[in-house]
Structure 1
Amino acid sequence: MSAIFKKGEVITNDYFTGIAYLEMLVPEGTEYNCPIGNVTFEPGARNNWHTHDGGQILLVTSGEGYYQEEGKPAQKLQAGDVITIPANLKHWHGATRDSEFVHLAITTNPQKGGTNWLEPVSDTQYNAL
């Protein structure tokens, strides 16, 4: 799979299942007020349920993945898809079982706060997709 942006470093926190990478393209705290990260999920990798105090936009650049809002069915995503996530909406995103998944994560309204990490997406939930 060809990459548009650098893959970055392995994410080493407890908010992901599987292996994911992050390369910040526009870092937090810059004059642009719009942090942008390139996130790469290996097949089967996903993040925990979470919310964003100021919202988020995902721009899918390659592979196949899932996006799910609490109480709704998961959506399958592919290159070219755009997801707009309102502030404080509980959701998760990650790769399908058999494909890498890459998206740009744009933090909107970062002055309102950050990411609020919640419980992991269980294997049972994920494997039902």
Structure 2
Amino acid sequence: MKMSSFLNVALYVAVFHAAISNAAQTQVSTAPVSATPQIMRAGSQPSVVAPADYFTGRVRIDPVWPANADINAAGNLVTFEPGARTVWHTHPKGQYLMVVSGVGLYQEWGKPTRELHPGDVVWCPPGIKHWHGATPTTAMTHLAVSGTTVGGENVEWMEKVSDAQ
């Protein structure tokens, strides 16, 4: 499968954690998932402006799918304008990030910042304190897939990232 085809499929199937209702938690539906295939149309969910409590700079979250009883992971497409980033945070069930455009940054607590490019995939295990966002000069969009606990939580937000970090 060509990378561009994979990216197109991935964009319709997955992205970032916290924006289904209040950008802090995703609720897990306990309703049974339909036994028939479903197509979720691109753009069928409204975009959400990411809240300043959890993000620095301009960030837009486009929900792709919520967690449900069969697949307990939410997906969101997240676009960071130049210089925008998350605050420090962890995920109780881990998170995959796949950069789909632009140039991004990713850092784990106590480790150096790493640059990310389209096609790069990051697996962040449960409980690892980290942040991610765009470089100071280039926007970045990534697909984030975050596991969700039985209680519906998929992220624990922490303090803001300092410019020195």
Match of 2:149 among 104, 108, 111: 111
C-alpha distance in 2, partners of 1:29/1:81?
26
> 1:15 and 1:55 mapped to 2: Cα distance?
18
2:101 corresponds, among 62, 73, 78, to 62
Is 1:75 aligned with 2:136? no
Secondary structure of the residue aligned to 1:98 is coil
The answer to whether 1:99 aligns with 2:99 is no
Identity of aligned residues (%): 44
1:7-30 deviations in Å (ceiling 9; x for gaps): 922112411100101011011346
SS at match of 2:149: helix
Unaligned runs of 5+ in 1: none
Is residue 123 of structure 1 aligned with residue 154 of structure 2? Answer: no
Residue segments in structure 2 that go unaligned for 5+ positions in a row: 1-7, 12-41
Distance 1:16 1:48 in 2: 6
Select between 3-12 and 90-99 the one with higher mean Cα deviation: 3-12
Task: Return the alpha-carbon distance in structure 2 between the equivalents of residues 82 and 22 of structure 1.
Answer: 18
Cα RMSD (Å): 2.0
1:89 is paired with a residue of what secondary structure? Answer: coil
Report the residue type matching 2:149 in the other structure.
Q
**Post-superposition shift, 1:99?**
0.7
Per-residue displacement from partner, 1:61-117 (whole Å, max 9, x unpaired)? 000010001111011001000000000000000000111110011012x12542110
Helix, strand or coil: the match of 1:12?
Answer: coil
Distance 2:69 2:51 in 1: 24
2:126 counterpart of 1:87: yes
CA distance in 2, matches of 1:97, 1:122: 14
Q: Larger radius of gyration, structure 1 or 2?
A: 2
